[in-house]
Every structure is written in C-alpha cells, then in structure tokens.
Amino acid sequence: MDAPSQYLTFTLGGETFAIGILAVKEIIGYTQLTDVPMMSDCIRGVINLRGAVVTVMDLAVRFGRTPAPVGKRTCIVIVEVEDADGERQVIGVVVDAVNAVLDIAAEDIEPPPAFGARIQKDLIAGMGKINGKFVILLAMDKVVAGIETAAVGDAELVE
C-alpha cells in the first residue's frame, strides 16, 4: 500500500481543487500586481518575490471562466513546476481561498472523468476522495504548459 500523498486544497469559484504539496513553494496574501502588456488573458501580471519576477496566473480564466474577484481570503499560491524542456518554472496562481493540507491515499485517487468536468481533462491529474466527496487534483505542469510566461523574465518591475 502506498503512503498517502499530501495535497494543498483550495477553493476557486465555489469548487475545491488540490495541488500536490511538493509543487507548492509558499502561499502569500494577494498583493498588487504589475501589468505586463500582450500576455495571455489568464496572466494577471507579475509580482516581485524577494527580488525575483514571478508571473501570476488567474486559474479561473485559465479554466475558461470569468476572472476571480479579489476578496479577503484571496491568496497567491507560489508553485514550482517542470516545463516540457525540463526547466524549473516558478509561477503564482490566484485562488479564492486556501483550505488545508490533506493526506489522500493512492487508493482514494480515481482517474480523471472521461467527460463532465468543467475544465480540460488533460489539466486534471485525478479525482481525490475526501470525506465522501471528490476534489479535483490538478496537474500543475499541464496547467502552466503552453501559457506565454517566458517573456516576463525580462520585464522591469516598477515599485
């Protein structure tokens, strides 16, 4: 039997999602973003994270929904993923609220549904069962893949 894996659960548009905890670098409160012209619609801008330029993605827009409104519990989850070239990429994702870190045993993870999910099937790593309910486990490398973020590294941050 596999040891349970840990996942960070969060809320987005009233639904619960989860990211493997190993991809999560940190969670920060929502902060003012610097706009970068001509970026993908799902990129809200960039932040200065201890001197590093970090692109911030709106997950709601990435999933084809309206932009997430910023509320009291809105956070930016800083994740590190590996891109198609094997390069490590740090990106922030805007979520409505962070919930908890939970253990989900391998036997409690089902494959993504063949149909019926409200986001692209290839963005879903699986469906985790927590207390009799399903949580969408995101494949963050796929969520970030194909989004134009490379040009942001050259952007100047104005403080």
Give me the phi and psi of 143, to 5 degrees please: -60, -40
Task: Spell out the domains of the chain, with CATH numbers in brackets.
Answer: 5-148 (2.40.50.180)
Cα–chain center distance at 104: 18
pLDDT at residue 53 in the model: 93
pLDDT at 117: 58
pLDDT for the residue numbered 48: 94
**Residue 23: φ, ψ to 5°:** -85, -20
| Locus of tokens 């929904």 | 65
88-95 sheet: strands from edge to edge: 24-29, 75-82, 88-95, 52-58, 43-49
In order of 19, 38, 85, 157, the CA distances from 23 in angstroms are 7, 27, 17, 25
State pTM to two decimals. Answer: 0.85
The sign of the CA dihedral 14, 58, 35, 156 is: positive
Going residue by residue through the chain (159 aa), what tens digit of pLDDT does each one get?
455 699 999 999 889 999 999 999 999 999 989 998 888 889 999 999 999 999 999 999 998 888 878 999 999 999 999 877 788 889 999 999 999 999 999 999 998 877 665 677 888 999 999 888 889 999 999 898 867 544 444 444 444
d(CA 40, CA 43): 6
